[in-house]
Structure 1
Amino acid sequence: MLPIVLLSAFGILLLFLGFLKSRAVLLPATLLFLLVSLAVNFIDWNKTYLYFNGMLLTDNLSMVFTAIVLGSSFMVVALSSSFMEDEAAQPAEYYGILLFSLVGAIMMIGFENLIMLFVGVEILSVAMYVLTGSDKRNLRSNEAALKYFLMGAFATGIMLFGMALLYGATGSFTLAGIRAYAVNPQVGLSLLFYVGLLMLLIGLLFKVSAAPFHFWTPDVYDGAPTLFTAFMSTVVKTAGFAALLRLLSVSFGGVYTFWWTILAIITALTLVAGNITAVYQNSFKRMMAYSSISHAGYLLIGLAALGQQTKQAIVFYSLAYSVATIAAFGVLLLVARQRNAETITSEGNSSESFDAFNGLARQNPLLGFAMTVSMLSLAGIPLTAGFWGKFYMFSTAVERGQIWLLVVAVLMSAVGIYYYFRVIIAMYFREGATAPIRVAPFYQYVLVVATLLTIGLGIAPGLLEGLF
C-alpha cells in the first residue's frame, strides 16, 4: 500500500521538478524515490493486510514481486543518463510516467478484486503506450505506439468482457467469491464461467507476449526507445505473470482440469514460436523481442503445472530473467549510441545488428563480460541464475507429470543457445571497431551489480527460499 501512495506522490513531484531550468536533479531524484519505495515495501513483512475494502492484498509474495519490479525499475532508470544530454527529450515526463506505471504494476501484483486488476492493467498499459511513442522524431516509434495501443485496446476489451461474464456466473468480482463458486460441488458451473475464464486469460496472456497473442511484440520492442524496451520486457512481464499466478492459484485452482491443457498448448506454442523465430533475426533488438516471447513460455510452464513449487519457481525466474535482460539492454544502449549501431533511415526504420558487437570484449572487457554473463543466463547455462530458473520451471512440469511439455522446453532451450551465442562469438572472435566504448562510473556499477547478481544466484540459488 505504501509504495503505491509514495510512487503516486513522487510521480507528481517529478512533473513539477521538470519546470526547473536544470535537469541535473531529475535522475538522482527518481533513483532516490525508487529506493525509498523499495525500502518501505518491506515494512509489513510477515504481515497480511487488505486495503480498499478488501480489493488489494499485501503479503510476503506480493512484496517480493513488488521488490523485483522496483529493483528492475531502479536499474533501468540508472541507465538513462542519455536523457540528460538529449535536448529533445523530456526526462521529467518520462520518469513521472514510469513511476505511475509502477503503481499499476503493484496493483496487478496484489489485487484481490477483478476491478483492481483492471485498473492496474490500464494504468500500466496507458503509460507504456505513451513511452513507446516517446521518440516523436522516429516514425518507427510512432508506428510501434499505434500498434501497441490498438492491439492493447482490443486485448483489454476482451479481458473486461471476460470479467463481466465471470461476474454474471459467480455474482462476485472478488477472488474469494470466484473460488467459492468454482469449488462448490452443489453448483453446476455455467458456460458463462468457462467463457469468462478463457477471455480473461486471453487478455492477460496478451500482456505477457504469449503465443498466439505475441504478434505485436517484435515491432513494438523494436520501435520503442531501447530503454523503455528494457522496462517493458522486465517490469511489465513480471507484473503480468504475478497477476496470472494470483488469478489461477487463488480463484481457478478448483477447475484446473479445464484450463491446464489449454495453457500447456499455449506454452508449447510460445516456446516454439519465440525460439525458432529468434534464430532468423539479424537485429539484436528483435532477437531480444523473440527471446522475451520464449521466456514467457518458460514462465508459463510453472503456471501450467501449478504445483507446490510454482510460486518459488516464478519468483526466481522473474528475478533471473529481469537482471540478465537489463544488463543486455544496458550494453546495447552504449554500443548503439557510441558505435552508431542504431541507424535511422528516412523511413524511420532502426536496427541494431549483431555486427555492432564485433570485437567488443577486446575494446571493453567489462562490457564484454557483462553481456556474456547475460547471454549465458538467458540461455540457461550452469553457474548462472538462468540455469536454476529453468531447472525450477522444469521441476514443476516433472512434478505434474507433464513430460511432453518438458521435452519441448528442453529442445527449445537447445535452440536458444544458438542465437544467444551469436553475440558472444561476435564479441570475442570477430574484428570490430577500434574506438573504445566509454562507460560512466555509475553505469559501470549497474552492470557490475547485475552481473554479480546473475552469478551469485547461479552459485547460491537457495538465497530466496523460505521468503513466502
Structure 2
Amino acid sequence: MNSIILLSVLGLGNLFLGFRRSNRLLLPVAMLMLAVVFGVNFLDWGTSQSFFNEMLVVDNFSVAFTGIVVLTALLLLPFSQQYVRDGEANLAEYYSLLLFSLVGAIMMVSYNHLLMLFLGIETLSIAMYVLAGSDKRNLRSNEAALKYFLMGAFATGILLFGMALVYGATGTFVLRDISFAVQNPANATLTPMLYIGMLLMLIGIGFKVSAAPFHFWTPDVYEGTPTFFAAFMSTVVKTAGFAAFLKLLVQAFPAAAAQGLWLPTLTAMCVLTLLIGNVGAVAQTSIKRMLAYSSVSHAGYLLIGLVAFNGQLEGASANGVFFYSLAYSVATVAAFGVLKLVADARQREDYNGLNGLAKTNPLLAFVMTVAMLSLAGIPLTGGFFGKFFVFSAAVENGYIGLVVFAVVMSMVSIYYYLRPIIAMYMNAPDATTTEAVPVGSFQSAALLLLALLTVVLGVLPGLVSGIL
C-alpha cells in the first residue's frame, strides 16, 4: 500500500516539474522516485495487511511481483535519455503516466476483490493507450494507439461481463468467497453461468497478456508504439497481467480446475500461444515485430506455470512464474534498450540495422547477445532457469506432453534469436551501419547491469528462486 501511495503522490509531483523549462531534472528525479519505492516496497515483506475492507491485500506475493515491475521500470528509464536531449515537451507527462501505470500494476498483483482487479487493469491500460500514441507525428504510432484502445476497450467489456456473470453465479466479488461458492455442491445448477463467466474473464485477461488467440493486436501495436514504451508494455504489463491471472486461478477458481471447467481452455490457449508466437517470430524481418511475437511466445511459457499450478500462491508453480517473469523482464529491457539506441542512431529496426555492431559498439553487441541467449533459454542465463522452473512444475503435475511441445518450440526460437547475433558479429556493415552508435555513460551502466543480472540469475538462481 505504501508503494501505491508513494507512486501516486510522486506522479503528481513529477507533473509540476514539467513547468521547468529544462528536462534535465526529470530523469534523475524519476529514477530516484522509483528507487525509493523499490526499497519501501520490501518493508512489507513477511507481513500480511488488508486495505479497503480487504479489497487489497499486501503479502509476500504482492511484494515480490511489485518488486519486479518497479525494478523493470527503474532499469528502463535510462533509455529515455534521448527524450531529455531532444527537449521533449511532454516528458514530465510521460514519466507521470508511467508512474500512474505502475499504480495500476501494483493493484493488479495485490487485489483480493474483482473490482480492484478491474480498477488496476484500467489504470494501467489507460496510461498505455496514451503512451502508445505519444509520437503524434508518426502515423504508425497513431494507428497503434487506435488499435490498442479499440481492442482494449472490447477486451475490458468482455472481462467486466465475465465478472458480472461470476458474481451472478457466486454472489460475491471476493476471491476466497468465490472459491467457497464454487466448491459448494448446492451451486451445481449455476455451473453454466459460472463457466461462461470464467471463460469471458480468461478472454479479457488473455488479451492483456498477449495470449493467443487474443494476441493479434500485439505485433502492430508494438511496431507503432515508440520503442521505449513498447519495452514497458512488453515487460511491466505482462508481469502484472500474469500475476493477476495466477492469483485469480489459484485463489478464486482452484476447485474449478478439478472440475475441468477452465483447465482445458487454458491448456489450449497455452499450446496455441506457443505455436503462434514462435512460428510468427520466425517470419519477421523487423526486430521490433520479432520481439512482439517473442512476447507472445513467452506468454505461452508463463501459461504453462498457470496450467501446472498446485493450488496455492506458494510453491513450484508460483515460484516458476515469479522467476520467469523476472528473467524475462530483465532480458527484454536489455534487448529493447539496445534496439532503441540503434534505431535512434541508424533509423532502422530491421536485422540489417545491426550489421557490424560488434565492431562499432562491442558493448551493445555483447548485451544484445546475452539478452537473446536468455530469451532463448540457453544455460548460464536467467532465461534457462526460468524455463527450467516452469517446466519442472508442469512435469511434477503430469503435463509431460505439454513440456515436450514447449521444448520443441524453444528449439524453434533459437533460430530467430540467433539472427540478431549473426547480424552483429558475422555480417559486414553497410553504408548506414558504419558509424558507431552513440551511447551515454548512464546507458552503458544500465546495459552492463542488465547483462550482469541476466548472468547472475543464470549462475546463482537460488538468490531469488523459492522466495514465495
The interval holding the TM-score normalised by the smaller chain is over 0.9
User: Which residue number corresponds to residue 320 of structure 1?
Assistant: 327
1:106-146 residue CA offsets vs partner (Å, 9 max, x unmatched) = 00001000000000000000000000000000000000000
User: Which residue number corresponds to residue 176 of structure 1?
Assistant: 176
User: Which residue number corresponds to residue 23 of structure 2?
Assistant: 23
**Amino acid corresponding to residue 245 of structure 2 in structure 1:** L
Q: What is the correspondence of 1:322-401 to structure 2 with a 5 Å cutoff? A: 322-341=329-348, 352-401=349-398
Q: What is the correspondence of 1:218-229 to structure 2 with a 5 Å cutoff? A: 218-229=219-230
CA shift, 1:434, in A, is 2.3
User: Which residue number corresponds to residue 283 of structure 2?
Assistant: 280
Answer whether contact 2:323 2:465 (CA < 8 A) is retained.
no
Answer whether contact 1:55 1:113 (CA < 8 A) is retained.
yes
How far apart in 1 are the matches of 2:25 and 2:125?
Answer: 27
How far apart in 1 are the matches of 2:205 and 2:344?
Answer: 34
User: Which residue number corresponds to residue 421 of structure 2?
Assistant: 424
Using the size of structure 2 for normalisation, the TM-score is 0.97
Answer whether contact 1:374 1:454 (CA < 8 A) is retained.
yes
How far apart in 2 are the matches of 1:438 and 1:155?
Answer: 41
User: Which residue number corresponds to residue 108 of structure 2?
Assistant: 108
CA shift, 1:258, in A, is 1.9
Answer whether contact 1:38 1:71 (CA < 8 A) is retained.
yes
How far apart in 1 are the matches of 2:5 and 2:25?
Answer: 22
How far apart in 1 are the matches of 2:131 and 2:347?
Answer: 23
User: Which residue number corresponds to residue 85 of structure 1?
Assistant: 85
Q: What is the correspondence of 1:29-68 to structure 2 with a 5 Å cutoff? A: 29-68=29-68
User: Which residue number corresponds to residue 272 of structure 2?
Assistant: 269
**Amino acid corresponding to residue 226 of structure 1 in structure 2:** T
Answer whether contact 2:22 2:87 (CA < 8 A) is retained.
no
How far apart in 2 are the matches of 1:420 and 1:44?
Answer: 38
**Worse-matched range after superposition: 276-285 or 393-402:** 393-402
How far apart in 2 are the matches of 1:101 and 1:335?
Answer: 27
Answer whether contact 1:162 1:199 (CA < 8 A) is retained.
yes
User: Which residue number corresponds to residue 316 of structure 2?
Assistant: 309
CA shift, 1:365, in A, is 1.2
CA shift, 1:340, in A, is 2.4
CA shift, 1:89, in A, is 4.2
**Worse-matched range after superposition: 17-26 or 184-193:** 184-193
Instruction: Give the match's secondary structure for 2:188.
Output: coil
Answer whether contact 2:23 2:87 (CA < 8 A) is retained.
no
1:293 to 296, 307, 316: 296
How far apart in 2 are the matches of 1:205 and 1:389?
Answer: 21
How far apart in 1 are the matches of 2:380 and 2:110?
Answer: 32
How far apart in 2 are the matches of 1:189 and 1:280?
Answer: 48
**Amino acid corresponding to residue 353 of structure 1 in structure 2:** D
How far apart in 1 are the matches of 2:151 and 2:436?
Answer: 41
CA shift, 1:88, in A, is 4.7
User: Which residue number corresponds to residue 238 of structure 1?
Assistant: 239
Instruction: Give the match's secondary structure for 1:187.
Output: helix
User: Which residue number corresponds to residue 95 of structure 1?
Assistant: 95
Answer whether contact 2:274 2:298 (CA < 8 A) is retained.
yes
Instruction: Give the match's secondary structure for 1:50.
Output: strand
Is 1:69 the counterpart of 2:72 in the alignment?
no
User: Which residue number corresponds to residue 213 of structure 2?
Assistant: 212
User: Which residue number corresponds to residue 157 of structure 2?
Assistant: 157
How far apart in 1 are the matches of 2:170 and 2:262?
Answer: 18
**Amino acid corresponding to residue 246 of structure 1 in structure 2:** K
CA shift, 1:294, in A, is 0.2
How far apart in 2 are the matches of 1:393 and 1:23?
Answer: 43
CA shift, 1:338, in A, is 1.3
1:394-416 residue CA offsets vs partner (Å, 9 max, x unmatched) = 11221121122112111110110
Q: What is the correspondence of 1:447-458 to structure 2 with a 5 Å cutoff? A: 447-458=447-458
**Worse-matched range after superposition: 178-187 or 6-15:** 178-187
Using the size of structure 1 for normalisation, the TM-score is 0.97
Answer whether contact 1:282 1:354 (CA < 8 A) is retained.
yes
Answer whether contact 2:165 2:193 (CA < 8 A) is retained.
yes
User: What's the Cα RMSD here?
Assistant: 1.0
Instruction: Give the match's secondary structure for 1:238.
Output: helix
Is 1:407 the counterpart of 2:404 in the alignment?
yes
**Amino acid corresponding to residue 263 of structure 1 in structure 2:** L
How far apart in 2 are the matches of 1:180 and 1:32?
Answer: 44
Closer, same or farther in 2 for the Cα pair 1:227/1:189, shift >3 Å?
A: farther
Answer whether contact 1:83 1:90 (CA < 8 A) is retained.
no
How far apart in 2 are the matches of 1:51 and 1:181?
Answer: 23
Q: Percent of aligned positions with the same letter in both sequences?
A: 58
**Amino acid corresponding to residue 179 of structure 2 in structure 1:** R
Which ranges of 4 or more aligned residues in structure 1 deviate by more than 6 Å?
none
